[in-house]
Structure 1
Amino acid sequence: MSLIVEEAADRVVWRLDRPEVRNAIDRELVAALHEACAAVEEEPRVVLLTGEGPAFAAGADIAQLRERRRDDALRGINSKIFDRIHRLPMPTIALIDGYALGGGAELAYACDFRIGTPSARIGNPETDLGIIAAAGAAWRLAELVGEPLAKEILLAGRVLTADEARAVHLLNDVVEPADLLAAGHRLADRIAARAPLATRLTKAVFHAPRGAHPFVDDVAQAILFETEEKRTRMTAFLERRRERNS
């Protein structure tokens, strides 16, 4: 089993479980991630994604990657699963301890949040192997950290330390290894405390193409205006304010 799935009512933890190869992403793991995505697409929950052992994910499985040819690249084996993770209905949180390189970094970039430990190292060394970062980094990384730094990572092989990644907001937080999973759950608690449908639609609107605005914003709001949860939460807010002012 290359992926351990731990389910709860409002969240699910995915553990990459190939510690003997630093959780390198192979076809079996990709298949397991597709299956896990299908489950949270059917029953939307927050996803916490972490790696077993001394690394988050030290890239794609190079032994498999070396044998892939043109048609394999055109199938987008890794890019499709990372895009699917990026599009999951509820927020996703990558928990990074140790290396997140190559495909491992691209998996982290696909998530909505990233929390690391002091030993986190994030980068894309693909050009050193004669290929490009073709599973999202070549365009997603600039959106996350800006063009100059993204080019330094992609074209010159710079690997960010945890403090550097935190300084450019690629990591939302840096915590000690013993607190990493708990930090992820604390963030998941904050997300889960909010209205689930409002959270889902906010994420969808956030990632909608620029030309779709403001129409998609208005449609999402129209849906939410008709929900009982909106009325219940607003009524509770007004009652709390009245009590404070009485």
Structure 2
Amino acid sequence: MEYSTLLYGVEDGIGTITINRPKALNALNGAVMADFTDLLPKIAADEAVKVVIITGSGNKSFVAGADITEMQKMSAIEGRKWGKLGHEVFDKIEKLPQPVIAAVNGFALGGGCELAMACDIRIAADSALFGQPEVGLGITPGFAGTQRLPRLVGKGIAKELIYTASNIDAQEAYRIGLANKVVPAAELMEAAQKLAKKIMSKSSTAVQLCKAAINEGLDVDLASGSAYESEVFGLCFATEDQKEGMTAFVEKRKPVFTGK
């Protein structure tokens, strides 16, 4: 699959998406969103892909935000349509059945921070910079920054970051829970792939059901989330992976999962 703004490849069960607009610091524009819209359903349907990694081209920027030159002259109707498209694309990323790791290799500002937050796990290079600078441009975050950031770091910290348009470095992002891990920039992709392989050593069916249960539970009350968990827990007992995993445990050997 070839795209004008994305590089995509699959190796050993890991699908890697690289946003490839390095001269624009990988800023999100209509072409990027169109490429994501085409690619994501194909990944979702590909059983050979067990984990997805999203990163940016070059060593300066993951995604420096949405493309200001494209947004500058938008009308209110056009701005709403653009924001809605961003929500739709990032929701597709969040709802991919496969776990998604953001390998944040530099600027993750505005739409870039929002993209990283739509992923399940964020590994940051020590050179990464996170922030929601929108109020400094006279707008609000438009791709769910006001929704995902408080859910990740808490309401008070999220409000401070958004109200002040402050950028934070990788270590501060780790301290507040925005980044799961910080590694030297030269080791970023290796660390992301290592984590992907660790996830892949487990039952892909169970991992995907866990992702569904977590995502579903965050949007409902505890009782409803617990009921959903009970359902997916029960489903596990209809799988070959459950039988293999528990048999291997009893037999004191490593399980060999097939995702069935």
Q: TM tier, shorter chain? A: over 0.9
Task: Select 2:249's aligned residue among 234, 237, 240.
Answer: 237
- Classify the secondary structure of the residue corresponding to 2:187: helix
In structure 1, C-alpha distance between the alignment counterparts of 2:228 and 2:75, rounded to whole Å: 40
In structure 2, C-alpha distance between the alignment counterparts of 1:123 and 1:214, rounded to whole Å: 33
Contact 2:21–2:57 (CA under 8 A) maintained in structure 1: yes
Question: Which residue identity does 2:45 align to in structure 1?
Answer: E
In structure 2, C-alpha distance between the alignment counterparts of 1:182 and 1:71, rounded to whole Å: 43
Aligned positions of 1:27-42 closer than 5 A: 27-42=30-45
1:150 paired residue number: 158
- Classify the secondary structure of the residue corresponding to 1:95: strand
Question: 1:9 offset after TM fit, Å?
Answer: 4.4
Question: 1:8 offset after TM fit, Å?
Answer: 2.5
List gaps (5 residues or longer) in structure 2.
254-260
Task: Select 1:22's aligned residue among 12, 25, 47.
Answer: 25
TM-score by length of 1: 0.94
Is 1:4 aligned to 2:24, yes or no?
no
Provide, for residues 85-134 of structure 1, a one-character-per-residue CA deviation record: whole Å limited to 9, x for no partner.
11111111111122100111100111111111111110011011111002
In structure 2, C-alpha distance between the alignment counterparts of 1:227 and 1:118, rounded to whole Å: 41
Question: Which residue identity does 2:67 align to in structure 1?
Answer: D
Is 1:131 aligned to 2:139, yes or no?
yes
1:99 paired residue number: 107
Q: How many residue pairs end up in the alignment?
A: 241
1:109 paired residue number: 117
Task: Select 2:55's aligned residue among 50, 54, 62.
Answer: 50
In structure 1, C-alpha distance between the alignment counterparts of 2:119 and 2:78, rounded to whole Å: 24
Contact 2:71–2:79 (CA under 8 A) maintained in structure 1: no
Question: Which residue identity does 1:99 align to in structure 2?
Answer: F
Q: Which runs of 4+ in 1 moved over 6 A?
A: none
